[in-house]
């Protein structure tokens, strides 16, 4: 199981390099508790273009990761793309490389992995890598209606991270 970091796992703070600003996203603790109780390997995927722009350093990204683990518990893997949207790298989502590499690092075939995310880039990356995806609305944004349905054929939707975890465990 892979979570998109910003907006799904923790509240989205643009180019966050400050561990003091890390706050768990709504509903994530219950989702993680369900998945950990079931023995599911947990990882995180994240685009961090602020590194490429010089707004934050890799050590700040790692400090945010450490704070996230202090608040939410350990993760088996952190997969981060430090490139900007115009760098032409293969690991930046919506490309498949970051998710595929995360699957390899977890020693799981992509069809056995699900990415829980709110943004289309992470959903597309999951599906392109051959993994599954569950779209959840970003819980910290004002509700303006239901989460838009996924337009990609293999994507499912859930109302919150906990419902996504339940969906994953019952599939």
> What are the tens digits of pLDDT across the range 12-43?
998 899 999 999 999 999 999 999 999 999 99
Please report, for the chain, the start and end positions of each structural domain, with discontinuous segments joined by +: 2-170
> Contact, 115 vs 99, CB < 8 A?
yes
Q: State how far the Cα of 96 lies from the Cα of 79, in Å rounded to an integer.
A: 12
Return the CATH architecture of domain 2-170: 3-Layer(aba) Sandwich (3.40)
Cα distance between residue 79 and residue 101, in whole Å? 8
Whole-model pTM: value is 0.90
What pLDDT score was predicted for residue 144? Answer: 42
Is the pLDDT assigned to residue 116 strictly greater than 60?
Answer: yes
* Chain segment 42-97, per-residue pLDDT in tens: 999 999 999 999 999 999 999 999 999 999 999 999 999 999 988 989 899 999 99
List own/partner pairs for 62-66 with CB under 8 A and 24 or more apart. Answer: 63/17, 63/19, 64/10, 64/16, 64/17, 64/18, 64/19, 64/22, 66/19
Q: What is the pLDDT of residues 78-88, one digit of tens each?
A: 999 999 988 98
pLDDT of residue 145: 45
Instruction: Classify the C-alpha dihedral 57-119-157-1 as positive or negative.
Output: negative
Separation in Å, CA 13 to CA 8, 9, 25, 122: 12, 12, 11, 17
Q: State percent of the chain over pLDDT 70.
A: 90
């Amino acid at each position: 199981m892979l979570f998109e970091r910003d907006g799904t796992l923790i509240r989205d703070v643009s180019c966050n390099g400050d561990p003091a600003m890390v706050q768990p996203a709504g509903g994530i603790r219950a989702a993680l508790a369900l998945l950990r109780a079931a023995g599911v390997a947990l990882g995180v995927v994240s685009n961090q273009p602020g590194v490429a722009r010089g707004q934050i350093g890799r050590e700040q990204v790692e400090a945010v990761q450490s704070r996230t683990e202090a608040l939410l518990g350990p993760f088996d893997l952190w997969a981060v793309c430090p490139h900007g949207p115009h760098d032409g790298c293969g690991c930046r989502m919506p490309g498949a490389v970051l998710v595929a590499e995360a699957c390899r690092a977890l020693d799981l075939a992509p069809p056995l992995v699900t990415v829980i995310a709110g943004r289309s880039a992470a959903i597309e990356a999951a599906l392109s890598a051959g993994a599954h995806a569950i779209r959840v609305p970003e819980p910290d944004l004002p509700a303006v209606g239901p989460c838009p349905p996924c337009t990609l054929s293999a994507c499912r939707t859930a109302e919150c991270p906990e419902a996504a975890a339940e969906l994953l465990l019952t599939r």
